[in-house]
Amino acid sequence: FETAVRKSWSNIPRNNQCYVKATELVFADKNGSWGTPIIPMQRAAGLNDIGMVAWILDMSTPEFPSGRQIIVVANDITFRAGSFGPREDA
C-alpha cells in the first residue's frame, strides 16, 4: 500500500512524507471469539498469534490529501500454514 500511494504522489509536490500509517486490529481478549471487541494495537510486524490479520490504514492520497481510512483483512499463510480455527473465523 505504501508503495502504491507513494507512486500516486510522484508527480505532485508534497511536504509531508507520511503516506500510510498502519495500525493492527486485534481482539481485546487474547482468547477472542464471536462478540469479542476488536481494538487497535501498535506492535512490530510478525507478532500475531492468529492466522487472520487486520489493519486500519490511514492513507494520504492525491484524491484525499487530508487522509482516508480503509480496513485490510488478510490470511497470514506463515502462521500455522494458513490454517483456520474458531479464532480466525470470529
Residue 16: predicted pLDDT: 66
Is 88 within the bounds of a domain? no
Share above pLDDT 90 across residues of the chain, in percent, rounded to a whole number: 37
Residue 55: predicted pLDDT: 94
Q: Is residue 23 predicted with pLDDT exceeding 90?
A: yes
Is 68 within the bounds of a domain? yes
- Provide the 10 A C-beta neighbour count for residue 36: 15
Domain that residue 54 falls in: 1-82
Residue 45: predicted pLDDT: 79
Is 25 within the bounds of a domain? yes
Distances (CA, A) of 8 to 11, 12, 90: 8, 8, 35
Structural domain count of the chain: 1
**What pTM was computed for the model?**
0.76
Is 87 within the bounds of a domain? no
**What integer best gives the mean pLDDT of the chain?**
87
Task: Between 16 and 61, name the one with better pLDDT.
Answer: 61
